[in-house]
Structure formats: structure tokens, C-alpha cells
Amino acid sequence: MSTVTAVQAPAESAANEPRPVHKVTAARVLRSEWAKLWSLRSTWITLGLALLFVVAFGLISLWHYKSALHSGHRMDPDMVTATAADLALFGTNFGQLALGVLGVLVTAGEYSTGMIRSTLVAVPTRLPVLWAKTAVYGLIAFVVATVGVFAAFLFGHGIVAGTPAAISLSGAGVARSLLGGGLYLALVGVIGVALGALLRSVAGGISVLVATLMLVPGLAELLPTSWQNDINRYLPSNAGGSMYTVHHAAQTLSPGAGLAVFAGWTVLALAGAAYRLRNTDA
């Protein structure tokens, strides 16, 4: 009897010991979101597609310019004055869809699976989750997008060598334009994260993102001509496009102003997402 008591006593003592409490810190939330993002196969696939779109369509645009120039056919007015940097950045129009959609999935995907409840139990203050998702995905999107635009330019500027579009990386505004393209795509990804948290629906977030970037500018063209220049330049996609143009036209914003306006749209989307996350149940 005494032997049994001697064996059970340590086990009971260990069971009664309180478990260590791990404090929720910003670093731990960041590590958690980093691990969750890279554990999904869709992350690798979508980032790969975004990189492919940026590089491939940039090179296609450069080849198209050279082909049209040598064929003697009439070129589009925008292409006539384009530089190698402008042409290489053509792929941002397609890369933004992939990065924006993945941004929506980063947040709305957790709502569709119900995993967001476990996340918010672990981080009851809630907002650190949104900031961590934004920081982690924004950084990843910026790296992927910047690598893509620089690769498109470095691999493709030789295609238009000897043409009016030829320009080197050291040319005026080229490096700034390429970095602006990478930053624009990263902010599109952040807007996707915000829309996913705000709408809590993958389909809804993607629909609003596509409408904002692609449909609204087209609808704005239906406005009276006297209104178009005053409104169009401040639309998200047009303001963002000003960030990565080498030489901006008179009716468009300067790169700095375009960054300020597009960053304002991004902050507005994040503010809406933060408000709903803080004030409504998952």
C-alpha cells in the first residue's frame, strides 16, 4: 500500500502544477501569422503566379513594342512615348490581381474555415492579429513584386536596345519607377487583407477588389469630360499607377502625390477592417 502511494504522489503533484502562461506579444503574433501563411499551398502557388505574371507580361510588352516598331504599323499613343521601364511594368496590371486575391484569402480564408475564432481566443485584443497579417503579407508581397519588376526590366531592356524606348537602370526615374511598382503591388496586397477582414467573405472581398481596381476607372470614363481629370487621378488604381510612371502626364498625379493618395486609400480600408474586427463578433 505504501508503495502505491509513493508512486502516485509525484504524478498527482505534477498534474496539479499550473501550466506556464505565455504572454501574447507582437513578436509572437507575427511568428504565428508567418507560420500560418507559409503553411498554405495556395500561398506558394499564388505568389508564384504573381511573379510569373509580372515578369512574363512585362517581357511580352517589350517584345510587342519592338515588333510593332519594326513592322511599321501604327502604334498606340501610350506606347510611342513609353520607355523600357514603362513597358517592363506592364505586368503589374496582372500581378495586382494575384497579390490582391491572396491578400483577401489571408484574412477572409480564416473566416470561411472558422479558424478565426481560435486566433481571436489566442489574441483577445484582436487588432494585433490584423496588424500582424498586414505586416507579414505586405512585406512578402513587396519582396515578390520588387523582384518581379526588376527581373522584367533587367531581362527585357536588351530587347528594346537601339530603339527610342531604350533606357538603362541608371536613367532618370527608372529605379524609382521600379521600386514604386513593387510598393504599389504590396499596397494592393494590403488592401486585399483589409477587404478580407472587412467583408469576411472571399467572394465579396475579391469582387470589391476587382471592381475597385478595374471596373471603377472604366465607369469614370463615362463622366463628363470636365469632371474626368479632377476625379480620375484620385481613383485608387490611377493614383497607384502614378507611383511607378517614369514621366507622368500633365493630367496625372506626381509619383509622390500618387503614393500619398494610394496610401490614404489603403489606410481607409485598414481602418474599416479594424473597426469591424474590434466591434463585431467573428
Cell numbers at residue 280, please?
463585431
77 pLDDT tier (thresholds 50, 70, 90): low
Closest C-alpha to 137, from 95, 167, 105, 179: 105
For the segment 56-62, the average pLDDT, to the nearest whole number, is: 94
User: What separation in angstroms does the CA of 280 have from each of 88, 146, 270, 273?
Assistant: 44, 36, 15, 11
240 pLDDT tier (thresholds 50, 70, 90): very high
- Which amino acid, residue 223? L
Give pLDDT, residue 22. 62
Given a cut of 70, whether residue 94 has pLDDT beyond it is yes
The full set of domain ranges for the chain reads 22-279
In the predicted model, what is the mean pLDDT of the chain?
A: 87
The 10 Å CB-count burial string (b at 16+, else e) for 216-250 is eeeeeeeeeeeeeeeebbbbbbbbbbbbbbbebee
Give pLDDT, residue 225. 77
Given a cut of 60, whether residue 64 has pLDDT beyond it is yes
Model pLDDT for residues 36-45, shown as the tens digit of each residue: 999 988 899 9
For 242, residues 6+ apart whose C-beta sits below 8 A from its C-beta are 233, 248, 252, 253, 254, 255, 257, 258, 259
Give pLDDT, residue 34. 94
Cell numbers at residue 35, please?
507560420
Given a cut of 50, whether residue 5 has pLDDT beyond it is no
Give pLDDT, residue 81. 78
Residue 256, number of CB atoms within 10 A of its CB: 11
* Angular region, 235: left φ>0, alpha ψ -120 to 50, beta rest: beta
- Which amino acid, residue 82? A
**Percent of the chain clearing pLDDT 70 (strictly above):** 90
Q: Which strand (E) or helix (H) includes residue 66?
A: helix 41-71
Given a cut of 50, whether residue 2 has pLDDT beyond it is no
Cβ atoms of 191 and 103 within 8 Å: the answer is yes
For 207, residues 6+ apart whose C-beta sits below 8 A from its C-beta are none
Model pLDDT for residues 120-176, shown as the tens digit of each residue: 888 988 999 999 999 999 999 999 999 999 999 999 888 888 888 888 888 888 999
Packing angle, helices 127-156 and 255-279, rounded to 10: 150
Cell numbers at residue 226, please?
470636365
Closest C-alpha to 91, from 153, 14, 166, 175: 153
Given a cut of 90, whether residue 257 has pLDDT beyond it is yes
Model pLDDT for residues 168-210, shown as the tens digit of each residue: 888 888 999 999 999 999 999 999 999 999 999 999 999 999 9
Considering the entire predicted model, what is its pTM?
A: 0.88
Determine the Cα–Cα distance for residues 49 and 196; give it in Å rounded to an integer. Answer: 20
Model pLDDT for residues 212-225, shown as the tens digit of each residue: 998 888 888 787 77
Give pLDDT, residue 6. 46
What phi and psi values does residue 47 have, to the nearest 5 degrees?
A: -65, -40
Determine the Cα–Cα distance for residues 11 and 253; give it in Å rounded to an integer. Answer: 71
236 pLDDT tier (thresholds 50, 70, 90): very high
Place of cell 474586427: 277
